[in-house]
């Protein structure tokens, strides 16, 4: 093994490719922990070894530590990419990790403030950061009490989502649903099994479902920014799903909100704060904070802001120089385009019926096509062939 300390990436999908893209430039050895060993980033030629380990495994930390001793055994940096379940288990058992493992995220006492939206929204309200009006429902009786309340009259449409949206997505293929009347609300509550006992019932912000603006940041242990980029989602695979086309932008208000939030929470490492503009009052409202690397990380790299490498340096070297002047230092209209996902979006959203609008949406000043890389071609080939093969199998069946 080279003297360069390696990285262990937790997660194997598009977010992980952004980490690989940023780290492979420096010949940093890369290891990966994958739920099933089959994700597209497991095909990367830069990944030396893969540990197949589900985050729900009761012996998760024990198996991780044994694999680490066997395969690595030297000072290493841990980065979570796109997988909240890995972030949860690593943060909760932070003190059980090997001493040689340098984390790029806090322990659970801090992580839960971004992972549990109820806590996040409370902090936002204290800071004066706007949020959607939200009711928290843990059981059927609480829902019925809300519906029967004379003081609290619900105004439809409403958005229903689970506290842990990734669980809802894995079971039902969606992160949330809209209800337009009481009957639909009760029907959805039953159909989605009470949203795991953690329903967030929110005022639905009008406008395009895709139009989410995100502030991506790396933070030192004093919650000071060392790198940042702001983007907005132009298209997604479906309502409330991950983006397939993202574009650079800038917004001083969102940056101010984001810095206030992460400082108050005490977060460090990687944070992505998401907002949506409410046209009814002209306010940007906080949707959520992601405490691990997100899908569009490669867009920052395309703009000269290598967020995964900044985290790597911070974990090993201590405090890096922080940003003191907050201004846009990259151009607008740089696009991140997840081609395989966008092909699905074309079909789902019927974009093929609006070919000129679709072509216009792809016009920009620069691009990064994910996960295309001449140095690492296999993940891109896999991302295209895999959905085609799955579609063919369905046709044959």
Domain 7-105 fold: Rossmann fold (3.40.50)
Give me the residue spans of the domains in the chain. Answer: 7-105, 133-203, 213-393
Question: Phi-psi region for residue 308, left (φ > 0), alpha (ψ -120 to 50) or beta?
Answer: alpha
Mean pLDDT by 10 residues, the chain (397 residues): 86 96 96 96 97 96 97 97 95 96 97 95 97 94 92 90 82 87 94 92 82 94 95 85 92 97 97 95 95 94 96 91 90 94 80 81 93 94 81 71
Name the CATH code of domain 213-393 (choices 3.30.470.20, 3.20.20.450, 3.40.720.10, 3.40.50.2300): 3.30.470.20
Q: What pLDDT was estimated at residue 393?
A: 73
Tell me if domain 7-105 and domain 133-203 are identical in fold: no
What are the CA-CA distances from residue 361 to residues 235, 247, 356 (Å)? 9, 10, 9
pLDDT of residue 357: 83
Report which of 167, 159, 63 is spatially closest to residue 115, judged by C-alpha positions: 167
| DSSP type of residue 213 | E
Q: Give the pLDDT of residue 286.
A: 97
Looking from the CA of 36 toward its CB, the CA atoms found within 13 Å total: 4
Give the whole-angstrom CA distance, residue 50 versus residue 328.
Answer: 38
Give the bridge partners for 11, in sequence order: none
Q: Residue 168 corresponds to which tokens in the numbers above?
A: 């809802």
Quick one: CA dihedral 392, 389, 236, 83, positive or negative? positive
**Which strands, in side-by-side order, build the sheet including 243-249?**
283-290, 269-278, 213-219, 225-236, 243-249, 334-338, 366-370
At 297 the pLDDT is 92
Looking at the structure, give the CATH architecture of the domain made up of residues 133-203.
2-Layer Sandwich (3.30)
Q: Which residues pair with 48 in a beta bridge?
A: none
Q: What is the pLDDT of residue 242?
A: 83
Measured distance CA(67)–CA(93) in Å, rounded: 17
pLDDT for residue 1:
44
């Amino acid at each position: 093994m080279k003297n360069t300390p390696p990285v262990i990436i937790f997660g194997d999908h598009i977010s992980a490719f952004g980490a690989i893209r940023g780290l492979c430039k420096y010949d940093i050895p890369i290891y990966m922990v994958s739920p099933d060993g089959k994700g597209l980033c497991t095909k990367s030629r830069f990944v030396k070894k893969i540990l197949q380990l589900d985050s729900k495994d009761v012996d998760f930390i024990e198996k991780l530590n044994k694999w680490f001793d066997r395969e690595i055994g030297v000072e290493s940096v841990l980065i979570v990419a796109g997988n909240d379940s890995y972030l949860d288990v690593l943060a909760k058992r932070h003190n059980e990790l090997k001493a040689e493992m340098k984390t790029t995220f806090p322990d659970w006492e801090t992580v839960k403030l971004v992972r549990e939206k109820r806590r996040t929204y409370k902090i936002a309200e204290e800071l004066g950061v706007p949020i959607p009006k939200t009711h928290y429902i843990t059981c059927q009786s609480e829902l019925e009490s809300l519906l029967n309340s004379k003081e609290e009259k619900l105004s439809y449409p409403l958005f229903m989502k689970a506290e842990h949206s990734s669980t809802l997505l894995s079971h039902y293929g969606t992160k949330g649903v809209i209800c337009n009347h009481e009957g639909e609300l009760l029907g959805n509550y039953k159909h989605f099994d009470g949203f795991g006992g953690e329903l967030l019932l929110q005022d639905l912000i009008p406008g395009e479902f895709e139009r989410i603006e995100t502030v991506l940041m790396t933070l030192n242990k004093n919650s000071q920014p060392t790198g940042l980029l702001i983007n907005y989602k132009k298209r997604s695979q479906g309502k409330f799903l991950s983006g397939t086309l993202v574009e650079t932008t800038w917004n001083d208000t969102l940056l101010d909100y984001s810095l206030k939030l992460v400082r108050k929470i005490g977060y460090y490492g990687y944070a992505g704060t998401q907002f949506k503009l409410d046209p009814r009052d002209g306010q940007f409202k906080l949707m959520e904070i992601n405490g691990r690397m997100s899908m569009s990380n490669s867009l920052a790299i395309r703009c000269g802001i290598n967020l995964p490498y900044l985290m790597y340096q911070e974990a090993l070297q201590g405090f890096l120089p922080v940003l003191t002047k907050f201004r846009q230092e990259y151009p607008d209209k740089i696009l991140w385009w997840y081609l395989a996902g966008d092909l699905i979006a074309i079909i789902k959203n019927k974009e093929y019926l609006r070919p000129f609008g679709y072509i216009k949406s792809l016009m920009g000043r620069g691009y990064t096509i994910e996960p295309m890389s001449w140095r690492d071609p296999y993940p891109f080939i896999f991302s295209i062939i895999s959905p085609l093969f799955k579609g063919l199998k369905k046709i044959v069946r």
